[in-house]
Amino acid sequence: MLSRVNTRVLVVDDEAGVRKALERGLRAEGMDVVTAADGPSALRLARTGTFDALLLDIMLPGLSGYRVLQRLREEGVRTPVILVSAKDGEIDQADGLDLGADGYLVKPFSFVVLRAQLRAVLRRTGGDRARGVVRLGGLEIDRSAREVRFDGATVALSPREYALLETLARGAGTVLTKDDLLAEVWGDERAATRNVVEVYVGYLRRKLDAVGAGDMVRTVRGHGYQVTSG
């Protein structure tokens, strides 16, 4: 159990201080944290569907937290969202929850409450690990239909191949070692050799190649594999 794939949280706030504080706190809880400072970049990051939860401030430059949430839901992204508002406006609360938010916090909030809300939200979406759509470049992984498409063309994958691709895509951008992948995809049992990962990456590449996405899975020699949006 070296570097497990942790819970991934996206923190969106325009104040750098708040971002830093939340990032540090959540990391201490053992979560992977990614931050964004404005609406558009929050939307861009969130729509990849690779997060387990979003912490979304309402007051944002570019695109309000409301709009970000609204857009995400429209696009079928069902990642749990906790809205954060600066002042206790009741109407705001109502609107936010109706838009599909899963929780609500009013500044200033204590870290204890934040952690509790996060846990509640994660418990609900449970081992399910969010049933939305993962998008990466032209690649689409529909987790509820268990279907993979690239530029519209569906790619038929075996269960193992699918699990591997999903795991790689969920860690989008980061390099996953073969041991990481063995633990995540093959389970904690030491039943399989490392070579099986290479074999299955090969299978994946061949099938992705057939639809023009051959170079999505990149080898990082000596370290592992990585999927990129290019």
Partner DNA sequence: GACGTCGCTGAGAACACGCTGAGGAATCGT
Partner DNA sequence: ACGATTCCTCAGCGTGTTCTCAGCGACGTC
Candidate list 201, 208, 213, 227; residue touching DNA; CB under 7 A:
201
178 binds DNA (CB under 7 A): yes
Query: How many Å apart are CA 81 and CA 142, to the nearest integer?
Result: 19
Q: How far from 33 is each of 80, 107, 195, CA to CA, in Å? A: 15, 20, 31
**Binding region for a second copy (CB under 8 A) out of 12-20, 41-49, 140-148, 186-194:** 140-148
Could you say which of DNA, a second copy, none residue 193 binds, taking C-beta under 5 to 8 angstroms by partner kind? DNA
**Please, what is the minimum distance in Å from the beta carbon of residue 99 to a second copy?**
9
3 binds DNA (CB under 7 A): no
Instruction: Find, among 228, 79, 213, the residue nearest to 157 by Cα.
Output: 213
**Please, what is the minimum distance in Å from the beta carbon of residue 11 to DNA?**
33
**Binding region for DNA (CB under 7 A) out of 36-44, 109-117, 146-154, 188-196:** 188-196
Could you say which of a second copy, DNA, none residue 91 binds, taking C-beta under 5 to 8 angstroms by partner kind? a second copy
- Residue 129 has, within 13 A of its CA and on its CB side, a CA count of 15
**Binding region for DNA (CB under 7 A) out of 22-30, 53-61, 88-96, 218-226:** 218-226
Give the Cα-Cα-Cα angle 89, 42, 148 (nearest 5 degrees).
125
7 binds a second copy (CB under 8 A): no
Instruction: Find, among 76, 58, 75, the residue nearest to 67 by Cα.
Output: 58
Query: How many Å apart are CA 74 and CA 69, to the nearest integer?
Result: 9
Alpha-carbon dihedral 12, 18, 24, 29, rounded to 10 degrees: -60
Q: Name the residue nearer to a second copy (CB basis): 129 or 223.
A: 223
188 binds DNA (CB under 7 A): no
159 binds DNA (CB under 7 A): yes
Instruction: Find, among 120, 131, 216, the residue nearest to 165 by Cα.
Output: 216
Burial of 221 (0-12, 13-18, 19+ CB in 10 A): exposed
Alpha-carbon dihedral 185, 167, 20, 14, rounded to 10 degrees: -160
**Please, what is the minimum distance in Å from the beta carbon of residue 23 to a second copy?**
20
Strand partners, 155: 148
Candidate list 30, 74, 221, 230; residue touching a second copy; CB under 8 A:
221
- Residues that bind DNA in the complex, under the rule CB under 7 A: 156, 158-161, 178, 186, 190-196, 198-202, 205-206, 219, 221-224
- Residues that bind a second copy in the complex, under the rule CB under 8 A: 90-91, 93-98, 100-102, 109-110, 112-113, 115-117, 119-120, 123-124, 131, 144-146, 158-159, 173-175, 220-223, 226
